[in-house]
Amino acid sequence: MTDLLHGIVSGAVGTAVLNTVTYLDMAVRGRPSSSVPADTAGKMADLAGVTLAAEGDDSEKAASRREAIGALLGYATGFAVGGAYGLLRPGGLRGVPRWLAGVGLAAAATGSTVAPYAALGVSDPRTWPAKSWAADIIPHLCYGWATAAAFDALHRPNGTRHGRKR
């Protein structure tokens, strides 16, 4: 249970880093936020038969709900990927170098977000230009490395600290 909790907390750290890097990129380049997470949330709600606009709501409220749900799905993905890592790292991934584990985490988080976009027909990643892929991959790499580092900092099996007995 502790490994799972350490993984979820590590995923939260990674998610905070991912969001920070993303917003820093937006501030530096002056680029707008992506509508894809909100569009995905809207499509998922439609498929589930859930209406995001309550009776009397205007379209702006429904759009705000889609945007919020899209962001929350991102947090859920980051926490879940971190949780899964927490379960896998102490066993089968123990010998994997942290930098490589971070790359694997980045790939898992990227795949967990991009696959639904494509599956739901919201966006086709095969058509994304290189700058769009860079805007997606760089924050996800930062997520992966931060998540791996946070987990290793939290998880010290057998009373060790940084490989040494306390």
Instruction: Look up the domain containing 145 and give its range.
Output: 2-33+77-165
pLDDT in tens, 25-74: 999 999 998 899 999 999 998 899 888 877 776 788 888 889 999 999 99
pTM, two decimals, is 0.87
| Among the ranges given (3-12, 59-68, 97-106), the one the predictor scored with the smallest mean pLDDT | 59-68
What's the structural domain count of the chain? 1
Helix, coil or strand: residue 160: strand
Distance CA 77, CA 74 (A): 5
Burial class (CB in 10 A: 0-12, 13-18, 19+), 106: buried
Give bridge partners of residue 161 from the DSSP assignment: 164
Q: Which range is most confident: 11-15, 68-72, 125-129?
A: 11-15
In a domain, 8, yes or no: yes
Do the domain assignments include residue 51?
Answer: no
In a domain, 159, yes or no: yes
In a domain, 124, yes or no: yes
CB-CB neighbours of 3 under 10 Å: 19
Q: Rounded distance, CA 77 to CA 114, Å?
A: 11
CA 143 to chain centre: 7
What is residue 158's predicted lDDT score, i.e. its pLDDT? Answer: 59
The answer to whether residue 131 is domain-embedded is: yes
Whether 133 is covered by a domain: the verdict is yes
Give the Cα separation of 90 and 97 in Å (integer). Answer: 12
Any domain includes 61: no
Is 114 contained in some domain?
Answer: yes
